[in-house]
């Protein structure tokens, strides 16, 4: 969608409702933190140059009810720019709008973007994730925090510590290095506020999930040189999915020190943990017939099955403004994710719905380190203007696995889709974890781009990244089993024409590499790992961003290497996939109190040059032919401060497997919501409520080759926030 976002309320009006009589008190930890934070001095900034701070999302709103505009987005090796000034499809959502939508994961953030297709959600399965234009976002390289690689393997990143979430659709080889052609999700960390911020939010979700959230920030010290931003979240309870319990905690602290007007140092530390019980890994059908999701019982998972992750990350950086035209930056980030799962894979082996429940128990750890240095500047050569971005980057990824019995799967017994039964837990099997280094990946890169402006309207972007990629795989005995290296150049080139000050027409070409996949535990060649896949993208587009309306239109084609499970149940890397489509979206303020937004994705996919004749020429699995979205917001004049909204999304049918012998039907979901903003005792108060999947539609989603997942049913959410 456009970076111009409909919203009710000023961007500075952040807080949300708090009803002491009917909602529970904050947890003791939150109360202690609140008391400590309120005791810190916090003054409105009187001095300081915004250019000296780290690049952050800038959000402005002209009046209550008008669209909230995200002014600038991150573009990796292109630096920060307005979305409308880039030759790529980029969308960004601010933390204000995230709160207004009551979004819980990135799935919710980009729900109404027609290019985004939900693959799985954490209501019934391990985590939430999605595809963009039919291509799954890479869980090892497709997620960034402040532009640096961040692990999200089977884990969700909480939204509370972040000021903005950005989505780059399509290839990212030049801008970010390795990553699938589905796109890049970038989370921009919340930074210290210039004015004191104190916000408490209490939330509720059916069946009985309660949450308490705290967000505080400000500045102190001589000339307000020191800043802080602290977020804390506690969430716990039984969801409306049978037997599913969730517990989540998040803590984050971001600081900065304005050493001089031109030099700023920043640092942050974030930790989050989530555990869900009653979850499943996925289902696979041994028959060509997949029953209607509405006919299947909802309590397929065993109540003792679980999935747990915890993540710690630390980042720091320095930004230095050399002069009005040149600036440089250096940043470092460390991230560690632990994952402990004991959930089940269900294999349905007959048309009666009988399935075998196999419980997989793994302990996995990922360690990431990233260093990045960048220089950005402008200069003229005669009448031609240049905008240069150059940089160096280093990234290491290490994965540790356990080698216990649980990794090979534990047969729990059989059950039935329509009449599931409780199976006995085997608590001591597969929990004697013996971790070992499974692989290590290193990437060293250097990149350079020049945006050459020949006239006030016409410009050319040329960029290239050189990447030195190495991967070493090991046995549990620390014996190196394989080594892979590649030294690719990934270029990009684009022509841009400003039809006016608010609009850009463009043509772009991008190349990219993504990390090769591994055979799953259900494949004959389980564990086999392949080298990188190459992709190419061609895109022609137009985007405009105005006061009362905005639009994005992109015609694209992507050719990428193919990985799939052949008819012999062997995971292979062979042939190509072709994705051709039209991605359109926009928003319009119809009248003073009415805003509409929506879009359409048309998508055609096909496999080419595949050795397996049962797969060659097929439609790519897990890709719909179309997605339609729409959303309407209404600021009620009869109750000032009250906004009503509704939205819907239609997703076309998809093949489940590469052989195109299994299919799931199209589905439609609809949501309703309201928010009310007022002032109580001089404090800002906002109450929100939403009903997702209003009609309780039950449907399947599909992800990996041959897998389906059950989606969440009707869910009611509400929260109340107080800012003081």
Confidence of residue 42 (pLDDT cuts 50, 70, 90): very low
Could you tell me what percent of the chain has a pLDDT over 90? 63
Which residue's structure tokens are 């979305």?
Answer: 83
pLDDT at res. 1: 41
pLDDT at res. 430: 66
> 3-class DSSP state for residue 652?
coil
Given a contact cutoff of 8 angstroms between Cβ atoms, the answer to whether 95 and 103 are in contact is: no
Closest CA to 216 of 231, 202, 203: 231
The rounded distance, in Å, linking the Cα atoms of 48 and 223 is 8
The rounded distance, in Å, linking the Cα atoms of 280 and 345 is 7
Confidence of residue 247 (pLDDT cuts 50, 70, 90): very high
* Average pLDDT of the residues of the chain: 87
Confidence of residue 38 (pLDDT cuts 50, 70, 90): very low
pLDDT tens, position by position, 528-540: 878 788 899 999 9
The backbone region for 103, taken as left when phi is positive above 0, alpha when psi lies in -120 to 50, beta otherwise, is beta
The rounded distance, in Å, linking the Cα atoms of 525 and 533 is 19
The rounded distance, in Å, linking the Cα atoms of 74 and 451 is 16
The rounded distance, in Å, linking the Cα atoms of 687 and 16 is 6
Given a contact cutoff of 8 angstroms between Cβ atoms, the answer to whether 344 and 280 are in contact is: yes
Residue 621 has pLDDT above 60, yes or no: yes
Residue 34 has pLDDT above 70, yes or no: no
pLDDT at res. 243: 86
Closest CA to 374 of 334, 324, 322: 322
Q: Count Cβ atoms within 10 A of the Cβ of residue 493 and give its class: 0-12 exposed, 13-18 middle, 19 or more buried.
A: middle
Which residue's structure tokens are 């000296």?
Answer: 52
CA 100 to chain centre: 18
3-state secondary structure 282-337: EEEECCCCCCCHHHCCCCCCCCCCEEEEEEEEEEEEEEEECCCCEEEEEEEEEEEE
End-to-end CA distance of the chain: 33
Residue 25 has pLDDT above 70, yes or no: no
Residue 53 has pLDDT above 70, yes or no: no
> 3-class DSSP state for residue 691?
strand
- Of the listed ranges 23-37, 253-267, 411-425, the least confidently predicted one is 23-37
pLDDT tens, position by position, 572-619: 898 999 999 999 999 999 988 999 999 999 999 999 999 889 899 999
- When pLDDT is averaged across residues 155-164 and rounded to a whole number, the result is 94
Closest CA to 706 of 565, 549, 599, 533: 565
What's the token pair of residue 192? Answer: 């210290």
Strand pairing class (148-149; 59-60): unpaired
SS3 content of the chain, % helix, strand, coil (to 5): 5, 55, 35
Residue 32 has pLDDT above 60, yes or no: no
Residue 232 has pLDDT above 80, yes or no: yes
- Structural domains in the chain, CATH included, are 4-422+444-723 (2.40.170.20)
pTM, two decimals, is 0.88
pLDDT at res. 151: 86
The rounded distance, in Å, linking the Cα atoms of 191 and 202 is 22
Distances from the Cα of 97 to the Cα of 5, 591, 650, 720, angstroms: 8, 20, 22, 15
Residue 32 phi, psi (nearest 5): -65, -45
The rounded distance, in Å, linking the Cα atoms of 436 and 307 is 20
Confidence of residue 483 (pLDDT cuts 50, 70, 90): confident
pLDDT at res. 313: 97
Residue 78 has pLDDT above 80, yes or no: no
Residue 676 has pLDDT above 90, yes or no: yes
- When pLDDT is averaged across residues 39-61 and rounded to a whole number, the result is 37
Residue 114 has pLDDT above 90, yes or no: yes
Given a contact cutoff of 8 angstroms between Cβ atoms, the answer to whether 395 and 373 are in contact is: no
- Of the listed ranges 55-64, 95-104, 221-230, 426-435, the least confidently predicted one is 55-64
- Would you tell me how many other CB atoms lie within 10 Å of the CB of residue 31? 14
Residue 175 phi, psi (nearest 5): -75, -35
Residue 318 has pLDDT above 90, yes or no: yes
Residue 58 has pLDDT above 90, yes or no: no
DSSP 488: -
> Which distant-in-sequence residues (6+ apart) come within 8 Å of 554 by Cβ?
89, 169, 539, 540, 541, 542, 582, 583, 584
pLDDT at res. 69: 63
- Of the listed ranges 79-88, 241-250, 515-524, the least confidently predicted one is 515-524
């Amino acid at each position: 969608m456009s970076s111009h976002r409909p919203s009710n309320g000023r961007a500075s009006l952040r807080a949300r409702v708090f009803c002491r009589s009917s909602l529970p008190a904050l947890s003791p930890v939150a109360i202690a933190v609140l008391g400590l934070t309120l005791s810190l001095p916090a003054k409105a900034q009187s001095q300081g140059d915004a250019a000296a701070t780290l690049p952050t999302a800038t959000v402005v709103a002209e009046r209550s009810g008008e669209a909230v505009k995200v002014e600038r987005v991150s573009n990796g090796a292109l630096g920060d720019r307005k979305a409308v000034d880039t030759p790529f499809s980029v969308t960004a959502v601010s933390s204000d709008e995230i709160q207004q939508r009551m979004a819980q994961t990135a799935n919710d953030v980009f729900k109404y973007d027609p290019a985004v297709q939900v693959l799985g959600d954490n209501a019934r399965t391990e985590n939430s994730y999605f595809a963009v234009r039919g291509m799954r976002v890479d869980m090892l390289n497709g997620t960034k925090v402040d532009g640096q690689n961040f692990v999200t393997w089977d884990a969700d990143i909480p939204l509370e510590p972040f000021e903005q979430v950005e989505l780059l659709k399509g290839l990212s080889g030049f801008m970010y290095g390795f990553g699938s052609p589905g796109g890049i999700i970038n989370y921009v960390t919340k930074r210290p506020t210039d004015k004191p911020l104190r916000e408490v939010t209490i939330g509720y979700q059916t069946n009985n999930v309660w949450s308490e959230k705290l967000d505080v920030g400000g500045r102190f010290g001589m000339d307000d040189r020191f800043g802080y931003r602290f977020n804390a979240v506690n969430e716990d309870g039984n969801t409306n999915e049978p037997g599913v319990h969730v517990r989540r905690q998040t803590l984050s602290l971001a600081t900065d020190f304005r050493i001089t007007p031109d030099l700023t140092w920043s640092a942050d530390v974030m930790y989050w943990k989530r555990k869900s019980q009653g979850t499943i890994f996925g289902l696979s059908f041994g028959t060509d017939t997949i029953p209607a999701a509405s006919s299947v019982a909802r309590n397929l998972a065993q109540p003792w099955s679980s999935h747990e992750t915890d993540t710690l990350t630390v980042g720091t950086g320095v930004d230095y403004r050399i002069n009005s035209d040149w600036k440089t930056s250096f940043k470092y980030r460390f991230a560690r994710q632990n994952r402990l799962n004991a959930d089940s894979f269900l294999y349905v082996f007959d048309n009666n719905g009988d399935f075998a429940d196999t419980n997989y128990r793994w302990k996995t750890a990922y360690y990431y380190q990233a260093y990045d240095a960048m220089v950005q500047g402008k200069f003229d050569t005669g009448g031609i203007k240049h905008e240069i971005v150059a940089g160096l980057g280093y990234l290491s990824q290490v994965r540790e696995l356990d080698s216990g019995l649980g990794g090979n799967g534990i047969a729990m017994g059989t059950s039935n889709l329509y009449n599931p039964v409780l199976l006995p837990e085997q608590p001591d099997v597969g929990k004697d974890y013996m971790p070992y280094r499974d692989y290590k990946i290193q990437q060293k890169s250097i990149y350079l781009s020049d945006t050459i402006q020949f006239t006030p309207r016409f410009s050319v972007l040329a960029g290239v990244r050189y990447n030195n990629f190495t991967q070493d795989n090991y046995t549990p005995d620390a014996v190196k089993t394989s080594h892979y290296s590649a030294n690719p150049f990934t270029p990009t080139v684009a022509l841009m024409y400003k039809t006016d000050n608010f609009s850009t027409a463009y043509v772009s070409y991008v190349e990219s590499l993504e990390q090769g996949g591994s055979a799953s535990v259900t494949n004959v060649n389980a564990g086999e790992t392949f080298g990188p896949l190459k992709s190419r993208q061609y895109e022609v587009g137009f985007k405009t961003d105005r006061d009362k309306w905005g639009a994005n239109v992109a015609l694209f084609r992507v050719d990428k290497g193919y990985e799939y499970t052949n008819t012999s149940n062997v995971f292979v890397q062979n042939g190509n996939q072709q994705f051709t489509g039209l991605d359109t979206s926009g928003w319009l303020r119809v009248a003073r109190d009415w805003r509409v937004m929506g879009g359409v994705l048309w998508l055609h996919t096909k496999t080419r040059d595949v050795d397996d004749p049962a797969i060659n020429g097929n439609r790519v699995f897990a890709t719909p032919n179309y997605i339609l979205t729409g959303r309407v917001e209404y600021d009620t004049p009869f109750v000032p401060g009250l906004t009503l909204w509704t939205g819907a999304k239609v997703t076309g049918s998809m093949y489940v497997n590469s052989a195109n012998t299994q299919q799931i039907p199209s589905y439609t979901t609809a949501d309703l919501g309201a928010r009310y903003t007022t002032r109580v005792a001089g404090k800002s108060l906002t109450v929100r409520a939403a009903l997702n999947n209003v009609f309780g539609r039950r449907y399947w989603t599909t992800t990996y080759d041959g897998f389906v997942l059950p989606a969440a049913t009707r869910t009611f959410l509400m929260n109340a926030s107080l800012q003081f």
